[in-house]
A and B are shown apart, each in its own frame.
Chain A
Amino acid sequence: MNGQEPRESPDKFVPRGAIAFFALLIFLGLVIWFGIYFTMLARS
């Protein structure tokens, strides 16, 4: 702000928050999918 450019270089930016969110999303997806999946298999 105040006319100054951001000091951080775009090349070194690592989206840690987005990566963590994505990893959590994948993990929860796997847990929900296979939780129901093995429950259904057990009921067969």
Chain B
Amino acid sequence: MLDKFERNVIITALTVSALFIFSIFYALGAKRQDVTECLPYNKTYETARVEQIDAKTYQIFYVARMWNFEPAVSYIPVGSEVDLFVTSLDVVHGFNVFDKNVNLMGVPGGVSRQRSVLRSRACTRSYATSFAARAIRIWKPKSLSTIPENNTLCRLAVPFAIYSSSNCSCRSYCSPLVFIMV
């Protein structure tokens, strides 16, 4: 016979565990949370491009290599659903979009995919990490007060540069990746 305190503790623990598990499935189902998916590798993923599926659905195929991510700039309408694909041509690169649940790894010979909805007309900050020789390096340029609209300068002058759209200013993290909401 269980002690009543022991029984209550077991019931409470099971209830809380069930609540946790239910909340995960609720997020996956009702809230349509997407998780990172690894796709079978294909040579076509080595071509960086933006593809429009329909008016509000886009696919962006990122190709990472040292000092560079392409496409560096993507023009995406506000509220679009975007499939992000990342692969790498050299080492493993990290791919993160600031303030979004997008955190991918660009692995040579592998493809990571994640879906995201870009709702706000705000600067999207992102940063890149490079994994090599057990080191994780987050590239932070020291001064990025002003970067002109010509994003080519960003790519050339600062390896992973923050680019800002016209109503935002450059901030802390470097970024090879820019979503410009149009």
Pick from B13, B23, B100: contact of A37, CB under 8 Å = B23
Chain B residues contacting A26 (CB-CB under 8 Å) are 12-13, 16
For B12-30 the 0/1 string (1 means CB < 8 A from A) is 1100100010010001000
In the complex, what residue of chain A is closest to B17 when comparing beta carbons? A29
Q: Is A24 an interface position by the 8 A CB rule? A: no
User: What total of A-B pairs shows CB separation below 8 Å?
Assistant: 33
Pick from A22, A29, A30, A37: contact of B27, CB under 8 Å = A37
The number of chain A residues touching the other chain, given as a range, is: 10 to 19
Pick from B16, B20, B100: contact of A43, CB under 8 Å = B100
Helix, strand, loop or mixed for chain A's interface? helix
In the complex, what residue of chain B is closest to A43 when comparing beta carbons? B101
Pick from B5, B32, B33, B116: contact of A15, CB under 8 Å = B5
Q: Is B54 an interface position by the 8 A CB rule? A: no
Choose among A22, A33, A34, A44 the residue with the greatest number of B CB atoms under 10 Å from its CB: A44
Known A-B contacts A33-B20, A34-B23, A37-B27; the reply to A44 vs B117 at CB < 8 A is yes
Instruction: Give the contacts of A20-44 with B (CB-CB under 8 A).
Output: 22, 26, 29-30, 33-34, 37, 40-41, 43-44
Known A-B contacts A19-B5, A40-B33, A43-B99; the reply to A29 vs B16 at CB < 8 A is yes
In the complex, what residue of chain A is closest to B102 when comparing beta carbons? A43
Chain B residues contacting A29 (CB-CB under 8 Å) are 16
Q: Determine whether the beta carbon of B27 is less than 8 Å from that of A40.
A: yes
